[in-house]
Structure 1
């Protein structure tokens, strides 16, 4: 057992919420397949964009979902340079989730460094000064002294590593404790939400793409009220219950958005795996959208040699009937593009 035990209670409400979320997760998983393999690239990207936009909006970033999408597509967007940088950083951080371990302090610091790169001078380092938490210019919480941050985070991460508490509950407890400690000079809110997503995705990979941040954004006042209530009680229970309700609402939303009728259609990943595609062939098959040129497909894998890429990746996909050329009688045409094989062809 870890030496530090965060104060919280497993109430009947907590147990009921965990059970209901698990039931919804079972329905979602049945539609999508094991892990996140059943999630299409469009669904993964769409949910991630919603997650990033909502999490940053909580921190007063004004960019819309459409603008965030444009930034990530490399298009010019009318917006503050800082807000655009926040989007790029957040996307990079969320994409890195599979490489991090929730209990590893070095990974936590690396995540903050990536999330806050170019935004604060001490990105990726524990804070070295006092910090207060304000709401509408009113101090609502003075965080622990900077001299205690490293010890407190070490205790919390050790608890997370050894705890036998259900991951749904543990992720909420960690989120609250992290916000209470406020270990960084800036970016604590978005880091807390990012790390809860990491904890959940380590348990169930598909949860890396659950846009719970959109629920929090729509219930922002309740989110802060739950944090405040937990602070006043010196007990995380009320915040845990709020976050579990937010997770349930997010789960219900994605279940409704994934009709059971779609579950009978195998995902591209499932098709590619059954056909034993190479890693590069599978990556192109999963990510190709609309009509794409050879250069655009090569960019997906950072490949440089056109001839080898065409021979090793594109031609086998065409031969298997998965991909087709838009100008099939002129394979090397400068206007040649590729798309998924149409079912009516």
Structure 2
């Protein structure tokens, strides 16, 4: 195998325009630091990514169920699907420890993602494999004997390329799916690895739920893969993925704008509560003390409950609302 392999694709005006739009949106919204979002929001977006990526692979658990699994709660559901969620959360949480151009790290990630689900987790497949839609095989992957060489060349290319990360990650994603190096878990691994590549460019991508957009446009996702296969180059798939990234950014921006509007429209009492909380998590008594209040029902009715209803604050122990250890914190923190 040649280590000078260049994946085939064409840099079209549409691709370049999408890269420009994404970069502009990142700059316009100030998405430049991972710390610009509250930990609770980052966690929520990560759970959305996990639920969507697994839903593409026919995992039936809802977002609420996935949230419960991640929180360590008991969930009534197929044991394998619950195990898939646990593995996926562990993989996304470990993402920051992996180097996107290190092949051994890819194998380690697959081991985490598929542990207990398949016998050869963390190892390339030893047999042939095809991608099916219904009863129809839409893609036959290269023979297993070629997989190690193809993956070595792909990682060598990823390490050396000077392409914009948005384009390079999309090319890698397509080539990875074309090779289909594992016996199972290729779809979720491809999405995870593109997220990892992009997170090294902009940390916000580690928590941007692009997978949710892909799930909602699943037929377009498979159509782009089929078109790329037919053309013998990844161009249609790059266009699809960049469109999904842009849509995810726009959705996050819309959510942030709605939160800002809710804050603007909040009562003076709610604004005072948000101000006293700052970046802290405080108990009811601590909040009342800082606000100079002595009447608990007044605090709950005019300050606490409206802020909770608007989604501007959250409980630190959401499943134990009456716990004496309960604290409240803002759900949005701006840099």
Cα distance change on mapping 1:135 and 1:338 into 2, 3 Å? closer
Equivalent in the alignment of 1:256: 254
Closer, same or farther: CA 116–57 of 1 in aligned 2, 3 Å: same
Per-residue deviation, 1:4: 1.0
Tell me how many residue pairs correspond in the alignment: 275
* Structure 1 equivalent of residue 6 of structure 2: 5
Distance 2:8 2:164 in 1: 15
What SS is found at the alignment partner of 1:118?
coil
Tell me, in whole angstroms, the C-alpha distance in 2 between the residues paired with 1:261 and 1:50.
18
Query: How many Å separate the matches in 1 of 2:325 and 2:243?
Result: 46
Partner of 1:182: 180
Q: Which residue of 2 aligns with 1:205?
A: 203
Instruction: For 1:305-316, list aligned pairs within 5 A.
Output: none
1:70 maps to 68
In 1, Cα distance between equivalents of 2:215 and 2:329: 40
Cα offset, 1:288, TM superposition? 5.7
Deviations 1:96-145 (A, max 9, x none): 11101111011000000000010000000011111111111211111001
Instruction: Tell me the residue number matched to 1:305.
Output: none
2:19 is matched with: 18
Whether 1:164 aligns to 2:152 is no
Preserved CA contact (<8 Å) 1:54 1:217: yes
Instruction: Tell me by how many angstroms 1:35 deviates.
Output: 2.1
8 A Cα contact 2:51 2:63, kept in partner: yes
Decide whether aligned partners of structure 1 residues 257 and 167 sit closer, same or farther in structure 2, where only a CA change above 3 A counts: same
Q: Give the Å deviation of 1:5.
A: 0.5
Q: CA deviation at 1:290?
A: 7.5
SS in 1 for 2:248: helix
- Which residue is equivalent to 1:221? 219
Aligned CA-pair RMSD: 2.3
Q: Distance in 1 between matches of 2:171 and 2:84?
A: 26
Task: Classify 1:128/1:20 alpha carbon distance in 2 versus 1 (closer, same or farther; 3 Å).
Answer: same
TM-superposition CA deviations, 1:6-44 (whole Å, max 9, x none): 00011000010000011111123x2x5x42011111110
Q: TM-score, normalised by structure 2?
A: 0.78
Q: Distance in 1 between matches of 2:164 and 2:231?
A: 22
Shift of 1:286: 7.4
Give the 3 Å change call, closer, same or farther, for CA 341–236 of structure 1 in structure 2: closer
Q: Does structure 1 conserve the Cα–Cα contact (< 8 Å) formed by 2:281 and 2:329?
A: no
**Unpaired runs of at least 5, structure 2:** 264-277, 285-322, 331-335
**Deviations 1:244-267 (CA, angstroms, capped at 9, x unpaired):** 11111111111111139859x9xx
Is the alpha carbon distance of 1:114 and 1:261 closer, same or farther for their aligned partners in structure 2, counting shifts above 3 Å? Answer: closer
Which residue does the alignment assign to 2:236? 238
Q: Corresponding residue for 1:108? A: 106
SS of the residue corresponding to residue 141 of structure 1 reads strand
Q: Secondary structure at the match of 1:18?
A: helix
Equivalent pair of 2:176/2:190 in contact (CA under 8 Å): yes
User: Per-residue deviation at 1:337?
Assistant: 2.5
1:337 to 320, 325, 332: 325
Give the equivalent residue in structure 2 for 1:272: none
Q: Distance in 2 between matches of 1:170 and 1:117?
A: 28
Distance (Å, rounded) in 1 between the aligned partners of 2:83 and 2:173: 24
Counterparts of 1:159 and 1:262 in 2: how far apart (Å)?
A: 43
4+ aligned runs moved over 2 Å, structure 1? 259-263, 285-291, 335-342
Corresponding position of 1:194:
192
Question: What's the counterpart of residue 312 of structure 2?
Answer: none
Does structure 2 retain, via aligned residues, the 8 Å contact 1:3–1:159? yes
Question: CA 1:149–1:287 in structure 2 vs 1: closer, same or farther (change >3 Å)?
Answer: farther
1:308 is matched with which residue?
none
Residues 212-240 of structure 1, C-alpha deviations (whole Å, 9 max, x = no match): 11111111011001001101111100110
Alpha-carbon distance in structure 1 between the residues aligned to 2:14 and 2:329:
50
